[in-house]
Structure 1
Amino acid sequence: MTSTPFDADVLIVGAGPVGLTIANTLGLYGVRVLVIEKLDSIIDYPRAIGIDDESLRTLQAIGLAEQVQAHITPDHAMRFVTAGGRCFADIDPRTDEFGWSRRNAFIQPQIDHLLYRGLARFPHVQVLFSHEVASLAQDEAGVTLQLQGAQGKMRRVRGRWLVACDGGNSFIRRSLDVAFEGRTKPNQWIVIDVRNDPLGTPHIYMHCDPERPYVSAALPHGIRRFEFMVMPGETEEELSKPENMARLMRKVVAEPDKLDYIRKRVYTHNARLAVTFRVQRVLLAGDAAHIMPVWQGQGYNSGLRDASNLAWKLAHVAKGLAGEALLDSYGQERRSHARSMIHLSEVAGDIFSPATRLGSTLRDGLTRILGGFPSVKRYFVEMRFKPMPRYRQGAVLAAAPVPAQGLLARLLERSGGSALGRLLGLMAEKEGSMLHRLVHGRQIDEGTPVGRMFIQPRVLCEDGQTRLLDDLVGLNFAILAWGTDPTHGMSPEARAFWERLGARFITVKPTVQMTHRDDERPGVIAIGDLGNRLKAWFAQQPNSVVFMRPDRFVAATCTPQQVDDTTRALAAVMAMPLVSLTAQPGKAQHPELAEAAA
């Protein structure tokens, strides 16, 4: 084992949104971080334009939500329109179960700069611009990088762990020989961003014009994005000529010569997924791990899901609070959901721009028929088609899924590369659907909240103020109980375990009971349930105690008398030592928890 000193606990290659979010999170945990970026500054041109409620919750967790709100447009609908002007799909969800609007428009460089400036809070987090990774090597103790500076000068840095956030063409992933499986769409698109919005209408419009599909998207601060399909034989150079650009823009504006252009850029849609997200001490995140078409705006958001999932685990391992095995749960949890989001994006692209005119005609006819069914409209409007993260293995206590079986399972396997196969696969992933049951069988754990994100309502605090729930929890575990003290049946050993991790103990009660203080216990936070949203959530569950992870996912639920057993089982799956918490003589063991602990 080498004794070479470490420059940081964690090295992060890539100062994009994923790398910067991980760096901010690790900074809050007190972990030493070095971010390495080959460019000389943060990218300042527009890229992603959609940020969802999960990502805003992640930014809230690192203390940047207030600044971010100045640069988003909440409740941003996406409307699919036929060539004749008929809106056949209106995606406009208005739910806020995670504390934020489901769909929001934003301009990525503005948020990226807020993330970068957020690092100034942490003297133990440094950013090294204008340095490109030339080589990497890892051993049982850490990772060593050889960096090449702007003037060709070489520099060596070493960290205990490395997170590769260096994009779809990741040098780190290629150096590790990690396969990047998937496909590249044959057609390209040209993106045109303009200032002083020439249309001014809100929302995003997906114009399904068989002659040339195009997109018109309103963005914050008077910016609008247009995207046009590049037709066979066309090139970026040709399309960028003034006369050709005017021809394109005349489809959407009357006077294209008066537009204030920001940039024009051609890009290709890719759908690819790394076969593994971890190679020893190197972890892949964001585009280095997966890339997907833009049609549902999930590339950026999937990257921030990676950051939220990985950062707390990496922090606990780096600080010696958990064993390295906890990091295996990152790929177990994130890879399958990234695949689902890739499928969703591909299906949306196939609906938007079918490969043939016949496909467009069939789509228009079918959507006209389905539009007469209110339940179908709600399915799209409320984004019920979006596969939400659901972890059945990893750092959770959840039952294993039933293996795929039957005729539809074989159909999915045979048609997985076709549009039909992707559509069937996407529908089958939606739990509770008839197709899901036919393919996978009835899941024995369908109703459990374990492995899902916990809700975030506004709550009444002990000081009389109202706050979002996460603001009381911080980047910590939380043990919440409805109507009772979650520590009442907790042994001293279990409580010491959770206190060592900085966990918050929370009692949820009706707001009218907040003036009653006789039931207060030291170290337990009481919150009032504004609007009865937490009561409604607990009413749907068989258990009244919830163990919430720092990334806001439910790790386990139990009854008040199962708190010690659940703590023991969670400590096992999270590779966190709990030597002193052993079964008490004569105490009943809960078989499902004992099995998970084993």
Structure 2
Amino acid sequence: MTTRPPNAAFDADVAIVGAGPVGLTIANTLGLYGVRVLLIEKLDAIIDYPRAIGIDDEALRTLQAAGLADEVEAHITPDHWMRFVTASGRCFASIEPRTDEFGWSRRNAFIQPQIDQILYRGLARFPHVQVLFGHGLASFAQDDAGVTLQLEGPNGSARSVRAGWLVGADGGNSFVRRSLGVAFEGRTKPNQWIVVDVRNDPLGTPHITMHCDPERPYVSAALPHGIRRFEFMVMPGETEEELSRPENLAKLMHKVVADPDAVDYIRKRVYTHNARLAERFRVERVLLAGDAAHIMPVWQGQGYNSGMRDACNLAWKLAHVVKGLAGEALLDTYGQERRDHARMMIQLSEVAGDIFAPESQAAAKARDAITLALNAVPAIKQYFVEMRFKPMPRYEQGAIVQPEAIAAGAPPAALLGGLFDRSGNTALGRLFGLMAENKESLFGRLVRGLQAPVPTPVGRMFIQPRVLCEDGQTRRLDDVIGLNFAVIAWGTDPTYGLTPEARAVWERLGAKFVCALPAVQMKHRDDLRPGVIRIGDVGNRLKDWFARWPQSVVFLRPDRFVGALCSPQQTSATTMAFAQALSATDTAPSALPANNVLHLSAA
């Protein structure tokens, strides 16, 4: 792969402020690309107290791409379900997703400091990645060539560093965001919650239970390694100091354990739920990620996971820009692709919180009655059990090439639009409105009308089945491809008919060419072609995926999102259009129509 030589005038190609999970993940991913990174953290060490407790399949796939999944897997509880129960003990919603289309269980429990430590230790693999603990960012200034940072070190020492790009991953109170003057709009819920983490789990039951008790809602969550988390709502007039007193804490714990005095406490902490979104994610050479870009209530466990989606989306784009493989316009697609989905996850988290803890007992009774009726409808019950309400990332603009018929979009949501009004006054009304906006859901399809066009996989995450390799071993698909672009064709050679110009694009990007076959055909070796990886489709998952669409060649981005889809005879033309969508350099693509729409003939 031809790359631009490092700029000796920079101390680092990328400076990252904040050594939380997002900053650590970006640093590890950039390290794999050979990018010089300076990770700056004002604390003296990685935070060691528990915070997030839920990690989803997308985040685990990101850690897999960083080469750390084997270590992480020992510290998760797969298939971690969430159950909502009324004050009487009736379970009115149980979220039990059993799918693993992305290679991992959809919902998993974890203890964040354990994974953060794995991410931190992972940086030792890279001599070109440096970590500065005990250094705060005092100020920064950017110009056309880079960013100059003024740091405050131990004992008031000062240090100036120069980087090509700056990533602000420094939390909800981000100094980077505030210095840029980027608006951070949203709301803060008036009520607080006290978190109690304990060792030697006094209950031992699996999963998470959301106790929707109107007198005092609380949560009981089983975590790996015998840890359990309890969360209790702080009621009006109560303070953290009062609730932390042994006698008052014992009263809280009496709701969940028989003997509060025998509990092995780790920590107690009060927090407030915030829901905020940055006005933009990029200001010239400075980018925002994680809580610096968006914060959300905890009810769907999406604060951590949304930050990991940011890291996954941003890191490969930064690497390709730094290496001169793509123009700076590629970084504009980061905000285009991530901001709308972050907003949807904030909305989902707010709705879940409103359903869990309604503002009045009358609202709680209405919720109980409605959910009891809805549970009698199998299709609706299955919709919640399988977690189909969760809006999956889907990019309709950005570093993708949309087929012409799809880019025209669906008709406006008119049918039943008044009923499914997300701006309504009830939590269930907002939930139905959110589901109506989710284009993948039954409600979304219903609201858009029966004539909505067939969806496209472009802009959505590709599946990750286990595949049979040439050496006879079965591996996850991403482990075969590596942290690269990939061109995957079903049953054919993806390189056949490529023009020299199109081939040069893929060679410059370091793409992998992959031919997916029925597993039994791997025994036939006469069709081996140089530079093409053959994989056997174990369980027909790839065949089923390709059977859904009229084209058979898929372009995968390094973050495993589908960048384009075409027929074998359209591979060269689509390649050149995709190169332009990526702002890839050293290519001469023909002009691409607006909205990255490629006009393709029928397959």
TM-score range, shorter chain: over 0.9
- Structure 2 residue 334 is matched with structure 1 residue 334: no
CA distance in 1 between counterparts of 2:597 and 2:166 reads 36
User: CA offsets, 1:471-492, max 9 Å, x none?
Assistant: 0111100000001000012112
Residues 156 and 78 of structure 1: is their aligned pair in 2 closer, same or farther, counting only changes over 3 Å? same
CA distance in 2 between counterparts of 1:179 and 1:331 reads 15
Aligned partner of 2:490 in structure 1 is: 482
User: CA offsets, 1:439-492, max 9 Å, x none?
Assistant: 656786642100000000000001111000000111100000001000012112
- Structure 2 residue 155 is matched with structure 1 residue 142: no
Q: Tell which deviates more after alignment, 426-435 or 41-50.
A: 426-435
SS in structure 1 opposite 2:194?
Answer: strand
What TM-score results when the alignment is normalised by the length of structure 1? 0.95
Shift of 1:594: 5.7
Contact kept in structure 1, 2:388 and 2:441, CA below 8 Å: no
Shift of 1:512: 0.9
Contact kept in structure 2, 1:432 and 1:446, CA below 8 Å: no
Q: Tell which deviates more after alignment, 99-108 or 364-373.
A: 364-373
Task: Work out which of the residue numbers 360, 365, 375 in structure 2 matches 1:361.
Answer: 365
CA distance in 2 between counterparts of 1:410 and 1:327 reads 38
CA distance in 1 between counterparts of 2:419 and 2:377 reads 27
Aligned partner of 2:49 in structure 1 is: 45
Shift of 1:268: 0.3
Shift of 1:375: 1.1
User: CA offsets, 1:501-542, max 9 Å, x none?
Assistant: 110100011111101111111000001000011001110111
- Structure 2 residue 100 is matched with structure 1 residue 96: yes
CA distance in 2 between counterparts of 1:507 and 1:414 reads 44
Task: Work out which of the residue numbers 239, 246, 249 in structure 2 matches 1:245.
Answer: 249
Task: Work out which of the residue numbers 530, 541, 561 in structure 2 matches 1:533.
Answer: 541
User: CA offsets, 1:410-459, max 9 Å, x none?
Assistant: 88889278646632431122215565357656786642100000000000
Residues 181 and 411 of structure 1: is their aligned pair in 2 closer, same or farther, counting only changes over 3 Å? farther
CA distance in 2 between counterparts of 1:4 and 1:457 reads 42
Shift of 1:150: 2.3
Aligned partner of 2:113 in structure 1 is: 109
CA distance in 2 between counterparts of 1:420 and 1:364 reads 11
Aligned partner of 2:478 in structure 1 is: 470
CA distance in 2 between counterparts of 1:278 and 1:500 reads 27
CA distance in 2 between counterparts of 1:405 and 1:267 reads 38
* Superposed counterparts of 1:550-565, under 5 Å: 550-565=558-573
Shift of 1:319: 0.4
Task: Work out which of the residue numbers 266, 288, 306 in structure 1 matches 2:310.
Answer: 306
Q: Tell which deviates more after alignment, 190-199 or 511-520.
A: 511-520
Aligned partner of 1:166 in structure 2 is: 170
Residues 524 and 407 of structure 1: is their aligned pair in 2 closer, same or farther, counting only changes over 3 Å? closer
SS in structure 1 opposite 2:209?
Answer: strand
Percentage of identical aligned residues: 75
Q: Tell which deviates more after alignment, 401-410 or 274-283.
A: 401-410
Aligned partner of 1:396 in structure 2 is: 400
Residues 125 and 217 of structure 1: is their aligned pair in 2 closer, same or farther, counting only changes over 3 Å? same
Aligned partner of 2:265 in structure 1 is: 261
Q: Tell which deviates more after alignment, 408-417 or 287-296.
A: 408-417
Residues 443 and 221 of structure 1: is their aligned pair in 2 closer, same or farther, counting only changes over 3 Å? farther
CA distance in 1 between counterparts of 2:453 and 2:553 reads 17
SS in structure 1 opposite 2:496?
Answer: coil
Residues 173 and 408 of structure 1: is their aligned pair in 2 closer, same or farther, counting only changes over 3 Å? farther
Q: Tell which deviates more after alignment, 130-139 or 25-34.
A: 130-139
CA distance in 1 between counterparts of 2:426 and 2:281 reads 26
Counterpart residue type for residue 156 of structure 1 = S
Aligned partner of 2:463 in structure 1 is: 455
SS in structure 2 opposite 1:500?
Answer: helix
SS in structure 2 opposite 1:39?
Answer: coil
Residues 405 and 53 of structure 1: is their aligned pair in 2 closer, same or farther, counting only changes over 3 Å? closer
Residues 445 and 308 of structure 1: is their aligned pair in 2 closer, same or farther, counting only changes over 3 Å? farther
Residues 480 and 514 of structure 1: is their aligned pair in 2 closer, same or farther, counting only changes over 3 Å? same
Residues 338 and 400 of structure 1: is their aligned pair in 2 closer, same or farther, counting only changes over 3 Å? farther
Shift of 1:579: 3.2
Counterpart residue type for residue 288 of structure 2 = L
Task: Work out which of the residue numbers 561, 574, 584 in structure 2 matches 1:566.
Answer: 574
- Structure 2 residue 383 is matched with structure 1 residue 379: yes
SS in structure 2 opposite 1:345?
Answer: helix
User: CA offsets, 1:114-143, max 9 Å, x none?
Assistant: 000000000000000001111111111111
Task: Work out which of the residue numbers 133, 147, 151 in structure 1 matches 2:155.
Answer: 151
Contact kept in structure 2, 1:11 and 1:162, CA below 8 Å: yes
- Structure 2 residue 59 is matched with structure 1 residue 55: yes
User: CA offsets, 1:239-262, max 9 Å, x none?
Assistant: 000000000000000100111111
Counterpart residue type for residue 125 of structure 1 = V
Counterpart residue type for residue 89 of structure 1 = A
Aligned partner of 1:586 in structure 2 is: none
What TM-score results when the alignment is normalised by the length of structure 2? 0.94
Shift of 1:408: 6.4
Counterpart residue type for residue 149 of structure 2 = L
Counterpart residue type for residue 453 of structure 1 = M
CA distance in 1 between counterparts of 2:457 and 2:284 reads 31
Residues 182 and 404 of structure 1: is their aligned pair in 2 closer, same or farther, counting only changes over 3 Å? farther
- Structure 2 residue 14 is matched with structure 1 residue 6: no
Contact kept in structure 2, 1:482 and 1:538, CA below 8 Å: yes
Aligned partner of 1:498 in structure 2 is: 506
SS in structure 1 opposite 2:156?
Answer: coil
Contact kept in structure 1, 2:82 and 2:95, CA below 8 Å: yes
Q: Tell which deviates more after alignment, 439-448 or 204-213.
A: 439-448
CA distance in 2 between counterparts of 1:4 and 1:566 reads 37
- Structure 2 residue 24 is matched with structure 1 residue 20: yes
Shift of 1:403: 7.0
Task: Work out which of the residue numbers 109, 118, 122 in structure 1 matches 2:122.
Answer: 118
Counterpart residue type for residue 531 of structure 2 = G
Structure 2: gaps spanning 5 or more residues = 1-6
SS in structure 1 opposite 2:523?
Answer: coil
Structure 1: gaps spanning 5 or more residues = 584-590
Counterpart residue type for residue 549 of structure 2 = Q
Counterpart residue type for residue 153 of structure 2 = G
Shift of 1:593: 2.1
Q: Aligned pairs, how many?
A: 586
Task: Work out which of the residue numbers 10, 33, 37 in structure 2 matches 1:33.
Answer: 37
CA distance in 2 between counterparts of 1:420 and 1:578 reads 52
Aligned partner of 2:598 in structure 1 is: 593
Residues 372 and 109 of structure 1: is their aligned pair in 2 closer, same or farther, counting only changes over 3 Å? same
Shift of 1:154: 1.2
CA distance in 1 between counterparts of 2:287 and 2:426 reads 31
Shift of 1:404: 4.2
SS in structure 2 opposite 1:520?
Answer: coil
Aligned partner of 1:287 in structure 2 is: 291
Contact kept in structure 1, 2:422 and 2:431, CA below 8 Å: no
CA distance in 2 between counterparts of 1:335 and 1:401 reads 19
CA distance in 2 between counterparts of 1:237 and 1:281 reads 43
CA distance in 1 between counterparts of 2:153 and 2:408 reads 48
CA distance in 1 between counterparts of 2:422 and 2:524 reads 62
Shift of 1:49: 0.1
CA distance in 2 between counterparts of 1:58 and 1:432 reads 23
Shift of 1:369: 1.2
Contact kept in structure 1, 2:421 and 2:433, CA below 8 Å: no
Counterpart residue type for residue 536 of structure 1 = D
- Structure 2 residue 274 is matched with structure 1 residue 270: yes
- Structure 2 residue 550 is matched with structure 1 residue 542: yes
Counterpart residue type for residue 248 of structure 1 = L
CA distance in 2 between counterparts of 1:440 and 1:341 reads 21
Q: Tell which deviates more after alignment, 250-259 or 427-436.
A: 427-436
CA distance in 2 between counterparts of 1:409 and 1:458 reads 41
Q: Tell which deviates more after alignment, 354-363 or 574-583.
A: 574-583
